[in-house]
Chains A and B, each alone.
Chain A
Amino acid sequence: MRLRVRFAKTGKVRFVGHRDVARIWERSLRKASLSVAYSEGFSPRPKLSFGLALSTGYESNAEYLEIELLEPADDSTWSPVDAEAMRVRIDAVLPAGFDVLAVAPADRRADSLQQAVTSCTWEILVDPAGVDEVATGVADLLERNEIVVERERKGKVVTEDIRHQVLALDVTGEAGDGVRLSADLGTQPRALRPDEMLAAMDPPLLARSVCRMNQWMSQGDDRIEPLSVDAAPAPLAEVRA
């Protein structure tokens, strides 16, 4: 069967890059003694597929991974109790800072998560400039018809209009000596990163911390999460490794 896992990456481990995260998962699944399927060939690798990459330095409450298991062969007998037991089992072997939030069987025939996800919700803490000043910057950005930025694509610098990818942007409050923003940013054809958007603001803002809160897939007019968490941990949770 195929398992879909939603996990959080918070605290010091936010500085671990996504290739290393994949290695951590491979080791952890071996520790959990799960019967993970391996690819064929000269150097077999466990069959894991990761969703959208997360920039090194960002935290997340919504990372996804799918795992191909040899046993059980199918999910017909699976219950929520099994899912919770599996969640606990995997959570126990992950390093501090990585937490498994939900586990469920996944449909093998569905689009990959990288294709299916259309936007992400981000919680951003920016260095103090004063709430009002930040609010003005936000309003200004949203009023623009186009936001042309230079982005790097396959090693080349290209200019692109990112306006259509800024789906929502709000000032949600103050925290400590910073200002908190919430942003919904598009991921197709290529995910817009919060720091790219902040750099396009006038004056440009610098993020002190960024946390991916949700990933969204569209379903008709609605949007749903690949795996929802009933009681998601508090934003920018103090789960410091």
Chain B
Amino acid sequence: MSSLWPELERVLGEVQKPARYIGCEDGMIIPEHRPEKAAWLLIYPDTYEVGLPNQGLQILYEIINERPDAVAERSYAPWTDMAGVLRRTGLPLFSVDTHRAAGEFDILAFNLSSELVYTNLLECLDLSGVPLHTTERRSEDPLVIIGGHCAYNPEPLADFIDAAVLGDGEEVVSEISEVVAAWKVSGRTSRDGILRELARIEGVYVPSMYEVDYDGDRLVSFTPRLSGIPEVVEKRTVADLASWPYPKNQLVPLTEVVHDRLNVEVFRGCTRGCRFCQAGMITRPVRERPAGQVRTMVTDGLRRTGYDEVALTSLSTADFSGIEQVVATAVADDVCGRVSVSLPSLRVDAFTVGIAAEIQKARRTGLTFAPEAGSWRLRQVINKLVKEEDLYGAVGSAFSQGWRRAKLYFLTGLPTEIDEDTLAILDLARNCIDVGREYHRNPSVTISLGGFVPKPFTPFQWFGQNTETELRRKIGLLRDELRSGGKTLNGVKLKWHDARASVIEGLFSRGDRRLGAVIEDVWRNGGVFQEWSEHFDITLWSDALARNDLSLDWYVYRHRTHDEVLPWDHLSAGLHKDFLWQDWRDALDEVGLEDCRWTPCYDCGACTSYGVEHIVASAVPPAGGSQGTGQAVNGTGVPVSLTIGPRVPAGAGS
């Protein structure tokens, strides 16, 4: 139970960026460990620079440390050079707060936001000296828990994790702490016993408590092994963000990290209903933080940290009630020096000159908008109901306020996409350049193209992902057109995400338990940091699949049928499966669906299943743009249809 710092200090000179491993952040907590307290090690299985800013992890770090019966420290995946040093010197993975060995904690809790980090989880377990497989762990070994968006389909990790936590963590960490602290006090007897108790906590899924039956390749059922274990595990939802003004003391790192600024979460959830977007579906309903609390968190946060930038974070931030006012008054006058406010997530149909003017004060280098698809037809399929005019309006607002560069984010490989849809991306970019020329001589527009990966708990969960070849062909289509496009495309640049990486994301996104062997195989062959293009190696994955007699065709490229049992059917984000199926049918019929925040409820289940509801200060959508209705923008008023009924085919009027 002691600090490994003296040993680490001797080897830190040998690694790149040693400041990753020292902790010492402003806001760091040095907790008092005691035998009767549950000790959590919160691990972000990517580099310190990527993991430190994670708000979810920081929120839980504070909440756990406020409890009398628990402590929490943090750790991040050591870069490959450090992992080498640790193995050579026999030192284990450690916390950055007090440099305590990971194996001394009771709970190793991983925050997973990308499938490609799964092998890093194994790397961290191995460096901790914890047996990789749940079946090999004894009662003195830590409990291995995962949370974050990937926890909604934890099946590929079933061999390695003791439990997965679904949904908001604010409340459930307290319940887990109580159970684990009691288990410690009672002498930490049977591991099976503690797992059983964890499985009884709402929102906690213990994979080993379920029997999985297959018929050939096909899943037949998940059955709880014991009574008292729920047949379906429901996610957790905090009813009101106002009760959780965390993090109160955002960590300020001593070395540069991504999103190196004050981050204040202004709301959680999104009901715009984009069909490709898992985050929007699983975090419903919308829960806004009161504007006054936002202001306090911004002002206090800036004073305490000394940051000169604050980001208001959420999905589609411009949807926050009265956003222009909030941005304009977020920063109290007496905060010293110049401060910029950024809105990292913007929908074009809610981005106005007013917002542009407010956030331009510090001249960001570029603005990103996400039309997601090139044609209006395809945007109806994916329910991203922004009109071309919305995009040009938003881009015009930005260019008129001094920006010269805009980035447009698109997905390719979407359901029903044909080459005309793909090529329409270039038309949008070309027109944006034209809009920009009204303000600047050399405006630039960067198209950033990602390959679409279907995710669980979305209407597209049944869709067979485009093959690697097809994704490459679509990327090539744009690339060739851009090369031969001549003058009209001057200023347009194209960047794309590696299609092979999209395929591996797709493999685990909708994978099942049998993939555990593949993850382990890749890790054993040195595949770590696969989310980093310099380390990603597709042959590791294809070899591992072949060795295990599993195929991409079956897991990734295959359309699922209505009656198929999906590997996450025994988990729930509240969403009714028939709502999702109907939304999938509507997508194929090119029928859009309006935002239920400002129109009647469709009973998707996210509120109705849990007795919670939207907390939105404004009864009407923010002004400007077509606001997702898909109707013509005429500059006056916001045309929102108020037709009563379960389903409003938005866009029918245009």
- Closest B residue to A207 using CB positions: B13
Q: Which residues of A contact B483 (CB under 8 A)?
A: none
B473 at the interface (CB under 8 A from A): no
Contact: B306 with A28, CB < 8 Å? yes
Q: Mark B37-77, 1 if CB is under 8 A from A, else 0.
A: 00000000000000000000000000000000000000000
- Closest B residue to A195 using CB positions: B13
Contact: A31 with B304, CB < 8 Å? yes
A56 at the interface (CB under 8 A from B): yes
Contact: B26 with A95, CB < 8 Å? yes
Partner of B22, one of A16, A34, A38, A43: A16
B547-572 interface (Cβ within 8 A of A): none
A10-52 interface (Cβ within 8 A of B): 12-13, 15-17, 19-20, 23-24, 26-31, 33-34, 36, 38, 42-44
A96 at the interface (CB under 8 A from B): yes
> When A12-B5, A30-B306 are in contact, do A57 and B12 touch as well, CB less than 8 Å?
yes
Stretch from B142-150, B252-260, B415-423 contacting the other chain: B252-260
Contact: A42 with B254, CB < 8 Å? no
A54-113 interface (Cβ within 8 A of B): 56-57, 93, 95-97
Contact: B13 with A57, CB < 8 Å? yes
Partner of B254, one of A16, A36, A44: A16
Q: Which residues of B contact A208 (CB under 8 A)?
A: 10
Contact: A12 with B337, CB < 8 Å? no
Q: Mark B19-31, 1 if CB is under 8 A from A, else 0.
A: 1011111100000
Partner of B24, one of A12, A19, A29, A42: A12
A241 at the interface (CB under 8 A from B): yes
Q: How far is the CA of A95 from the CA of B25 in the complex (A)?
A: 8
> When A24-B254, A33-B336, A57-B12 are in contact, do A15 and B19 touch as well, CB less than 8 Å?
yes
Partner of A23, one of B5, B23, B256, B336: B256
Contact: A57 with B18, CB < 8 Å? yes
Partner of A27, one of B12, B255, B305: B305
Q: Which residues of A contact B337 (CB under 8 A)?
A: 30, 36
Q: Which residues of A contact B18 (CB under 8 A)?
A: 15, 56-57
B210 at the interface (CB under 8 A from A): no
Contact: A31 with B306, CB < 8 Å? yes
Contact: A97 with B306, CB < 8 Å? no
Interchain nearest-CB distance for A116 vs B (Å): 28
B496 at the interface (CB under 8 A from A): no
Total contacting residues, chain A, CB less than 8 A? 30
Contact: A44 with B19, CB < 8 Å? no
> When A16-B254, A28-B306, A31-B305 are in contact, do A97 and B24 touch as well, CB less than 8 Å?
yes
Interchain nearest-CB distance for B308 vs A (Å): 6
Partner of B306, one of A12, A16, A20, A93: A93
Interchain nearest-CB distance for A172 vs B (Å): 22
Contact: A27 with B307, CB < 8 Å? yes
Q: How far is the CA of A97 from the CA of B22 in the complex (A)?
A: 12
Q: How far is the CA of A29 from the CA of B23 in the complex (A)?
A: 21
Contact: A31 with B303, CB < 8 Å? yes
> When A30-B306, A31-B304, A42-B363 are in contact, do A13 and B252 touch as well, CB less than 8 Å?
no
B88 at the interface (CB under 8 A from A): no
Partner of A17, one of B5, B19, B25, B305: B19
- Closest A residue to B305 using CB positions: A27
Q: Which residues of A contact B19 (CB under 8 A)?
A: 15-17, 20, 56
Contact: B254 with A20, CB < 8 Å? yes
Q: Which residues of B contact A42 (CB under 8 A)?
A: 363
- Closest A residue to B23 using CB positions: A12
Contact: A12 with B22, CB < 8 Å? yes
Q: Mark B331-343, 1 if CB is under 8 A from A, else 0.
A: 0000011100000
6 A-B pairs closest in CB distance:
A27-B306, A31-B306, A15-B18, A30-B306, A33-B336, A12-B22
Q: What are 20 A-B interface contacts by the 8 Å CB criterion?
A: A12-B22, A13-B24, A15-B18, A16-B19, A16-B255, A20-B256, A26-B306, A27-B305, A27-B308, A28-B306, A31-B304, A33-B336, A36-B337, A43-B363, A56-B18, A56-B19, A57-B18, A96-B24, A97-B24, A241-B22
**Which residues of B line the A interface, CB within 8 A?**
5, 9-10, 12-13, 17-19, 21-26, 252, 254-256, 303-308, 336-338, 363
